[in-house]
Structure 1
Amino acid sequence: MSKTALITGSTSGIGLATAKAFAAKGYNIVFNGLEENGAEIAAEVAQTYNVGHIFSPANMLQPEEIRAMVQQAFDQFGTIEVLVNNAGIQFVAPVEDFPEDKWDAIIAINLTAAFHATKAVWPKMKEQKYGRIVNISSAHGLIASPFKSAYVAAKHGIIGFTKVLALEGGEFGITANAICPGYVHTPIVDKQIPDQMKAHNMTREEVIEKVFLAEHAIKEFITTDTIAQTILYLADSEAAATITGIAMPLDAGWTAH
């Protein structure tokens, strides 16, 4: 019988790469995202890998929608073995100018939504004596950068939450771990490069190395596939069965400073 993975924010970026990695292993996938073509993206992945799937447009700001998404998965697949709390947003501003609604939204989506999704799957995972939870934090869950107060607070918070889950889940066969990526090569980053070239009077290569990858010891972006395969290792590998409560940097040496 196939296992089921619920991945929030899984119709683009890290989440989509992760959904594909689990689908390739035969998992049923519970997709989630707010993209207009999210249902089509989910159906295409499920068809490619011949796996069961659900697409939920649950808004991570709405606890009742998160609970309904989990219940829909239980109704269709019986249980959820893997939960990946990936959905996240970002906003950058000095603390004195930081809009309060942006603070509230970032804390709600990047941190509180993970609590609601985890709370919803937790009783079933305890009952079946098995569960794998992977929370997507960030290098900013381990260190700080200026002008990212809400994001840094949320990503530090998700690591603390992960550690508590590891302690509470251990005797029930549930592991919980956090992944802490550095700069990931995404379409959002690509779109920023021309503006940065103009602002700094730099070539594309200079912007990538001196702006985006300045803190990376290895001057490369982290790929979404690298993150997906690391999540798969933590959630699907027997070798990771006793790995729990960690915050794993995938940051090209950023936090080694």
Structure 2
Amino acid sequence: MNLATAAASPLSGRVAIITGSTSGIGLGIARALAEAGADIVLNGLGDLGQIETTRNELADTTGVKVVYNGANLLDGADAASLVTDTLNQFGRIDILVNNAGIQHVSPIEDFPVDKWNAIQALNLSASFHTIRAAFGPMKAAGWGRIINLASVHGLIASPYKSAYVAAKHGVLGLTKTVGLEGAQFGITCNAICPGYVWTPLVEGQIEDTAKARGISRDDVINNVLLAAQPTKRFVTVEELGAASVFLCSDAARSITGVALPVDGGWTGQ
């Protein structure tokens, strides 16, 4: 590979799993990693026909191999199988991006127990299961990049989001621990903490928050969601994709165990 090709495709030859990557943030990160040369394993929910269209489009536009794995991350064994299936198919796993997540907004006294359990399972425990399965192969290879999509809510709290805030704080603890365990083996583990990003997940939050607080949709957007972001705009999936490519690059090999806010200045206040 010549220098120009290496610069254009810094992740060429790498294999990346991105959970929750059939839409939104995960798809944006998958696209950025593919454009940097990595082969991609998509995972997530949605219409299978639409997922296949997305897979084909991503492969055609980037020239990398793109496959889909429908593992149900609410089940720990299934989450681990996402990694083992990738190893069986590609013979390696270099990059793991834990992005899949769900949200529910409710006052604590009314918070449904089943929602609490599901949020912990997908937003926190699934990351444990995928990391547990990927860490050994990465250690044997002497190289690995693990990125956990946490949230600004891994650093601070907001009312009515007890399960989500608890899970995302847990993700940061997991990130620090794995960063320490991988430090001598060429494995980094970092968390990206986005502020509000315009995605289907946030679209759902708008309606739930409006109902919980008894205010209008516009009030939620301007006076709740973007009130804390000094830039007064939503973070973009392209920005998160670029941050992910950097954290996977050799330039970031000394960055591990950190929580990187991409939040429009929210936590800088």
TM-score normalised over the length of structure 1: 0.92
Once the two structures are superposed, what CA deviation does each residue of 1:87-143 show, in whole Å capped at 9, x if it has no partner? 000001111111111000000000000000001111100000100000000000000
Counterpart of 2:25 (choices 4, 14, 39) is: 14
Give the C-alpha shift of residue 57 in structure 1: 1.0
- Equivalent residue, structure 1, for 2:4: none
How many residues are matched?
A: 253
Identity %: 50
- Equivalent residue, structure 2, for 1:169: 182
Distance 1:201 1:14 in 2: 26
Once the two structures are superposed, what CA deviation does each residue of 1:201-250 show, in whole Å capped at 9, x if it has no partner? 68x5x653323201111111101110111011101x22211000100111
- Equivalent residue, structure 2, for 1:226: 239
Q: Which moved more, 1:176-185 or 1:37-46?
A: 37-46
- Equivalent residue, structure 1, for 2:36: 25
Give 1:1-257 correspondences, 5 Å limit: 2-36=13-47, 37-189=50-202, 200=215, 208-235=221-248, 237-257=249-269
Mapped contact 1:137–1:178 kept (Cα < 8 A): yes
Q: Which moved more, 1:134-143 or 1:47-56?
A: 47-56
Mapped contact 2:14–2:93 kept (Cα < 8 A): yes
Question: For structure 2, which runs of at least 5 residues remain unmatched after alignment?
Answer: 1-11
Mapped contact 2:58–2:66 kept (Cα < 8 A): no
- Equivalent residue, structure 1, for 2:7: none
Mapped contact 1:54–1:73 kept (Cα < 8 A): no
Residue 70 to residue 253, structure 1, CA distance change in 2 (3 Å): same
Residue 162 to residue 59, structure 1, CA distance change in 2 (3 Å): same
What RMSD, in angstroms, separates the aligned Cα atoms of the two structures? 2.0
Residue 95 to residue 223, structure 1, CA distance change in 2 (3 Å): same
**What is the identity, as a one-letter code, of the residue corresponding to 2:39?**
N
**What is the identity, as a one-letter code, of the residue corresponding to 2:251?**
A
Distance 2:180 2:247 in 1: 17
Give the C-alpha shift of residue 255 in structure 1: 1.4
Residue 24 to residue 201, structure 1, CA distance change in 2 (3 Å): closer
Residue 189 to residue 152, structure 1, CA distance change in 2 (3 Å): closer
Distance 1:167 1:27 in 2: 25
DSSP-derived class of the 1:214 partner: helix
Distance 1:157 1:184 in 2: 21
Distance 1:30 1:209 in 2: 36
Give the C-alpha shift of residue 68 in structure 1: 2.0
Mapped contact 2:108–2:160 kept (Cα < 8 A): yes
Distance 1:191 1:178 in 2: 24
DSSP-derived class of the 2:64 partner: coil
**What is the identity, as a one-letter code, of the residue corresponding to 2:25?**
I
**What is the identity, as a one-letter code, of the residue corresponding to 2:21?**
S
DSSP-derived class of the 1:133 partner: strand
